[in-house]
Amino acid sequence: MKKKVFLLILGLLSGVQSFAQKDTYLMKLTDGVKSIRQAKSSKDVLQKTLVDWSMKDMPKLTLMDEINTHANECTGRGVNHFKMNQLITYVYERQNVIVKSKDEYFNSTEPGIYYSAIEKSIPKGKTVTYTIKNHKGPQEFVFLAYNPKTQYTATVNGQKAEPQGDGVQYIRLDNVNVRDEIKVSISSASSNGGKYDSFVILNHNPQK
């Protein structure tokens, strides 16, 4: 009996430790994206977020634009409800003195930039998969649906992300080698009400 109680306590402590391992700034970014969603991507909130994320003492951000566009995505003007890709572009330009061409600087592996994000819009009943390369160290991913009621499954290398409530899911890979490929998938349930929904993917890549 004592052994079972001890194992139960140990399991609870392990869960607390896992929660505490979540990167602080990644959680701050998550809260920022949720604020954008709550305000329905209003210009005022987007502007405030731009200023907050661009402050000199804030970590640098970039767009995870090196991943390919999946055939199942919704593309075109106005499909991305968060307006996250435009926002991250402006943040990057404010944080960096030298801005190169799009193909050269929008990459989640840029040295010294440990946080990246991208927005994708996915039709209900469809699955998209992306391959991320050249990341190193423990990797954390946060997925956020624009509609908090949207039902979806997010996986990284076949492991399901854990629902955090309010349309948010989280997963951590303890150790990734720079030669490893990371497969990220999002499946939007066919039972969802809208024709499609937008999702933000956040990543913390410590590069070591």
Q: What residue segments make up the domains of the chain, in order of their start? A: 12-204
Q: Which fold has domain 12-204?
A: Jelly Rolls (2.60.120)
**Which pLDDT belongs to residue 162?**
98
CA distance 4 to 91: 51
Q: How far is CA 194 from CA 35, 83, 121, 122, in A?
A: 21, 18, 12, 10
Global pTM value? 0.88
Average pLDDT over residues 164-186: 97
Taking 80 as the threshold, does the pLDDT of residue 164 lie above it?
A: yes
Q: What local confidence, expressed as pLDDT, does residue 189 receive?
A: 98
- pLDDT over 70 (residue 1): no
Instruction: Grade residue 6 by pLDDT with cuts at 50, 70 and 90.
Output: very low
| Integer Cα distance of 95 and 59 in angstroms | 9
State the Cα–Cα distance between residues 106 and 61, nearest whole angstrom: 10
At residue 208, does pLDDT exceed 50?
yes
Asked if residues 194 and 174 have their Cβ atoms less than 8 Å apart, the reply is no
Q: What is the per-residue pLDDT for 4? A: 47
pLDDT of residue 36: 98
Q: What average pLDDT does the structure give for the chain?
A: 90
Q: Find out whether 62 and 113 touch, Cβ atoms under 8 Å.
A: yes
Percent of the chain with pLDDT over 90: 85
Rounded to the nearest 10 degrees, the angle between the axes of helix 43-54 and helix 84-95 is 40
